[in-house]
Structure 1
């Protein structure tokens, strides 16, 4: 019996297309116990059929589709059934909740002698000075509220998925060309300064604003250290993948107690451009039981 729980996360950019391109082979070989998916863009029946066809089989499926057809959608696959699950962020008004549906799915699992909450998160991509960016601000605000609630209530929590923000200059190869674009705006990055700042202490964000730190851990940065990347998303334009001109926007964001249990971290970068089954690569973390 393994002494760790393997949690993987990936934006599949449409699960049906991903499986046509080879996602099933990765799923079989991943050794994952829990797999969080974003941008599923499919119905319950589609997901169940695709997952059941994978050689390893035996997956339990939770799915929160977007109320706007053809968009978003998050899911969690697990080898054992969850102890319970919840969808959506509470600190949103009715219109914001519709726009943000299919973007936040929480599930609780047995973890050693206790429980682990895994959240599949798909933050809005945004677009500067448009309603899409307004929706992103509202989502980030609501995420912060929920993160504080979770930190008060639970010891072991992992928020994983596509956060659509590169926190630091190390997280984007061409950061200078993106400082005025959604995904690397100073105001967006300041949220992450606070998310990862010491809990309760005043944190000065990269945009100059001040606020209390939340005390969460960025597993990827802690594990990799002060290096470029490792990137998890590459544009389909030009030779971005071949040149490793990427963004690190897929995270495992965890409570401090869970951060102490990280045994391994990796990005399952594809061997070549033509073997990709998504424009994102899976991020895989082993947590000691």
Structure 2
């Protein structure tokens, strides 16, 4: 059994203070992928870099207090790739790829477009650039699990208030169609949806800090593990951890045989 956790931390220092690493130590997944470090290399403590028995590999944003991703594993990867080859988005610290035998584990943080029209246009540029990279990953023939905050709710059942969000970033028709291409054309698998095709409120992984979104479970499912068909077929179970709050996102765990 291989367990993989994906968690947007909304700041690794903040999440650590809230007990994230203690939870990981108790839970002990084989791999865990984190997004939104909001830290530079100089900010990373020994606990952040290598919480025993894990080793970590990271992609930091050039801008301080922004973005950043990491992959933690219990053994050193065979190879590590930082960034996916796009200068604009590699400067933002959005991609780490680690190979372990026949398996590739990736931590991904897709841009959000909610703050401005400028950022939405950047998100569209990311989508256009990242799709060919996904194609090359698929064509590699390796088994791949991409963990991350994709900042897109794919279907109506993936967010509470879908009707009022049809013109908002994260649920735009263009964004949803792009994800459909990932599943239908590139044949990647949305592993949580494969296991729980009709889950609604239990599936949410992010809640706005505005209003009473958390208290009323007005959430979105924007954190995914998207995998090649071979390893996706071995997925046994998935869970979203909500007993403690480490950030505005909840960790997503999937167990693979």
Common topology (TM > 0.5)? yes
How many Å apart are 1:97 and its aligned residue? 4.1
Query: Is 1:147 aligned with 2:134?
Result: yes
Residue of structure 2 equivalent to 1:125: 112
Alignment partners' CA distance in 2, 1:156 and 1:44: 30
Query: Is 1:66 aligned with 2:61?
Result: yes
Structure 1's unaligned 5+ residue stretches are 198-212
Alignment partners' CA distance in 2, 1:52 and 1:188: 33
Residue of structure 1 equivalent to 2:95: 104
Residue of structure 2 equivalent to 1:89: 84
Residue of structure 1 equivalent to 2:217: 244
Query: How many aligned residue pairs are there?
Result: 256
How many Å apart are 1:240 and its aligned residue? 1.2
The CA deviation string for residues 81-118 of structure 1, in whole angstroms up to 9 with x for no partner, is 1111112222x3x44543xx3101111113xxxx2101
Alignment partners' CA distance in 2, 1:96 and 1:22: 30
Contact 2:161/2:218 (8 A) holds in 1: yes
Equivalent positions of 1:75-224 (< 5 A) are 75-90=70-85, 92=86, 94-98=87-91, 101-110=92-101, 115-127=102-114, 130-197=117-184, 213-224=185-196
Alignment partners' CA distance in 2, 1:242 and 1:129: 27
How many Å apart are 1:53 and its aligned residue? 8.7
Could you say what secondary structure the match of 1:196 adopts?
A: helix
Could you say what secondary structure the match of 2:169 adopts?
A: coil
TM-score norm. by structure 2 comes to 0.94
Alignment partners' CA distance in 2, 1:117 and 1:225: 25
Could you say what secondary structure the match of 1:237 adopts?
A: coil
Larger Rg: 1
Residue of structure 2 equivalent to 1:200: none
RMSD: 1.7
2:29 to 29, 32, 46: 32
The CA deviation string for residues 187-238 of structure 1, in whole angstroms up to 9 with x for no partner, is 10000111111xxxxxxxxxxxxxxx11110011111112314100111122
Contact 2:105/2:146 (8 A) holds in 1: yes
Alignment partners' CA distance in 1, 2:200 and 2:61: 34
Could you say what secondary structure the match of 2:193 adopts?
A: helix
1:255 to 225, 228, 231: 228
How many Å apart are 1:45 and its aligned residue? 5.0
Alignment partners' CA distance in 2, 1:234 and 1:216: 26
